[in-house]
Structure 1
């Protein structure tokens, strides 16, 4: 390549990295993006997108299985796993092509290789099939967005019946029995998918509850639904090892000497920041004891004009948070007024069945923060659209600050569990982040019949008056 100096060089082509490239290029910056694997990163190739594609397959299976309830006869019900995997890959390829096309249309220079940041914003790139191709870039600004990798439990390294999220999307078929280690968002999505596709699933979680951070009322609904699916949830237990058997499965040891025979072990215990080979000697970029790049509230590192965003910093490891951080950084680079992300108010979406979505504080977290609160809960069992869909399980819970006169004031948190709540959160997210009061939001009309009516009803009830609730 002839050009070696750019306005901005970005290391990493996941959502945070390519988000910064697209946003910066739309503002007129001359940008180079270095990615050693595939543009789109974990989210697109080994995370969010394939996970939701398989969850949609599971949703289709559930729909067909209950078609008779609507008078539709579908027999027999079967799953052709090879077609499922082909469709998953076609979705990934289409979206990856779209991202690459956007980058090229905005004149972003894409380099295939491994990048290392040196002093004075010098970026060394090594690539090519045999690692012999190299380039040295300089830039007015550098953004580090190398992403993350699955955390691995000692003794449960990937191989044989043990997989992480990287390998899960290529398993040869749906196992008869599966153990999911970790009851966080990703673990619950994997467990839900496997159970709906016919596997017998056990979740092993070391913490006292699954879905830490979720409101207790929401978690309770998930546990009730998981029980209906036959998912066995064991909390407060740690795994100690596994013993592969002759038939391809393994015996997982956990808790106080308990064992569980299984055909597949899915390790889902979070993701670790990926910084291997990222930094050369002589930069001011610091790595914390937890392995994250140390940044200030505007994502600036200790090296002048070098920022870090995405999974490599200690913020919520969510693609949309990476996009927001990218916008903040590019705004800062342009000398405008950057607005950092308020991590306590970001939207969370968990796509297991039932779906979970929330923004803001849970009831417990609000009380721990010193708020006197008032809450409102309404269940989907009384929502006409949910009943029509045949998906009445779930609820909407709104947490508001309690005023001195006892009335509900500012909305502190909105928590949802049930049908399509990941598509319903926007109203609650806006209410929390605009620091809206109950009275302000209650004045807005929700369409009927709709699932979003339940959010409106929940807020309206906090005014002291209500319709159906």
Structure 2
């Protein structure tokens, strides 16, 4: 027999980025909030995704930099060869995650958010049931998150056949000598970059025509990353159809077919990175009258983030919008403001910032050249290589370019970056795209010298038909 729990202004189902952002923002607006989470607050992003993966990427960057120390005038002892200390890298990764988890838990407590541990489900009357307790709110925000996708013939065991959830946790304690990464999207590309830079014999298998970041960024930028991975030792196969994995005494046999024919490779570990799916099977959607589409996503009006049932909203990976933590943050703000009776502007999903934290980094906001042309724009495009950028040369990291897509005589439609610190450079482009700035306006702004951002300024200037160094 369930018992009615306390009433709240907002009940949040799920404690990942969308969930804790909803709770914190609602609490900052003076609302009483209950947050239901069956594991740890922070969700996949903090514990198994964004944060731990980027910590490992940084460890690989440091290892790569040390290997090139002599080029920067740092003398090493004779015969010195750096070796990756994978357990130490993972201990540091775990320490960062734990510190952020403690900080987030403390912030929720200071904002007086009531955190309820357990598996929550929507009820027929629009509340949330958790282990016999029923939490009722003026508004409910569903933040069910996502889990790695699986494919037949690739039974994940967490030891030899992994998903990214395993690769950033216990299974990561053993650095393989040979690895096959199945899927060249964001997750696959990032892990291929980590493994390659740490000296692991890495094979990347992608089913689509373009093997690295086949969907998302402008092809010019994705191709720079593909060339860099190959140059550093990654073996890459496009249009690769992977068959049933076979366990051997020493590892895993991976059969695959490409237009060149059938092949098999033996590796120590396989990372299955074919994307993620919404975790909505057991949230009580049917009982509550909340529609789920055929792919498992909660259906929402993206202007308001409201589901098919009034008063229940959904944000983050469980809805069919870009699966990015910062997009979940923005959607959380909209849902809370709607509960408050406000009328916030919707997210423009065509212009959100995207970052892939590979080496080199890839980042973009707005339309690719192909998307802009398909939309009917009379397009102007200019590019500027990082090869001649003074700061990039100082860093010893000149693989990269800036590409700007603009309407002829009109605003900037998209900015695309590949190269050092593209993740940080992107936000100038993000602002330019979202403020519909003209290339000439950005080109007249002063960019510090020497800086990586000069490449953005140089690219903008070329739209005038003139240039400085380009």
Match of 1:307 among 303, 313, 328: 313
Are 1:7 and 1:141, in contact at CA under 8 Å, matched by a contact in 2?
yes
Match of 1:157 among 152, 155, 158: 155
1:462 aligns with 2:463: yes
1:230 aligns with 2:216: no
Q: Secondary structure at the match of 1:257?
A: strand
- How far the C-alpha of 1:281 sits from its partner, in A, is 4.7
Distance 2:185 2:463 in 1: 31
Deviations 1:254-297 (A, max 9, x none): 44432111111100001000012201654220000111001012
1:104 aligns with 2:104: no
**Residue matched to 1:251:** 254
- How far the C-alpha of 1:174 sits from its partner, in A, is 1.7
Distance 1:139 1:120 in 2: 11
1:221 aligns with 2:245: no
Deviations 1:118-171 (A, max 9, x none): 123211002xxxxxxx31111110000010000011111211410001111232
**Residue matched to 1:270:** 275
Q: How does 1:55-94 map to 2 (within 5 A)?
A: 55-74=57-76, 75-94=80-99
1:384 aligns with 2:390: yes
Distance 2:417 2:151 in 1: 32
Are 1:121 and 1:140, in contact at CA under 8 Å, matched by a contact in 2?
no
**Residue matched to 2:118:** 113
Q: Secondary structure at the match of 1:260?
A: strand
Q: Secondary structure at the match of 2:416?
A: strand
Distance 1:86 1:42 in 2: 18
Q: Gaps (5+ residues) in structure 1?
A: 127-133, 404-408
Distance 2:284 2:307 in 1: 12
TM-score by length of 1: 0.95
1:39 aligns with 2:41: yes
Deviations 1:384-439 (A, max 9, x none): 10000000110000001013xxxxx2100000000011011010000001111112
Relative to structure 1, is the Cα distance of residues 281 and 65 closer, same or farther in structure 2, using a 3 angstrom cutoff? closer
Q: Secondary structure at the match of 1:436?
A: coil
Q: Gaps (5+ residues) in structure 2?
A: none
Distance 2:89 2:208 in 1: 33
Distance 2:247 2:350 in 1: 42
Q: RMSD of aligned C-alpha atoms? A: 1.3
Q: Secondary structure at the match of 1:49?
A: helix
Distance 1:202 1:347 in 2: 29
Distance 2:287 2:198 in 1: 52
- How far the C-alpha of 1:379 sits from its partner, in A, is 0.6
Deviations 1:297-356 (A, max 9, x none): 211101111000000000000000000000111111111121211111000000010100
How many residue pairs align between the two structures?
457
Deviations 1:6-39 (A, max 9, x none): 0000000000000011111100010000000110
Q: How does 1:336-375 map to 2 (within 5 A)?
A: 336-375=342-381
Tell me whether 435-444 or 352-361 shows the greater mean CA deviation: 435-444
Are 1:241 and 1:254, in contact at CA under 8 Å, matched by a contact in 2?
no
**Residue matched to 1:401:** 407
- How far the C-alpha of 1:3 sits from its partner, in A, is 5.3
TM-score by length of 2: 0.95
- How far the C-alpha of 1:464 sits from its partner, in A, is 1.7
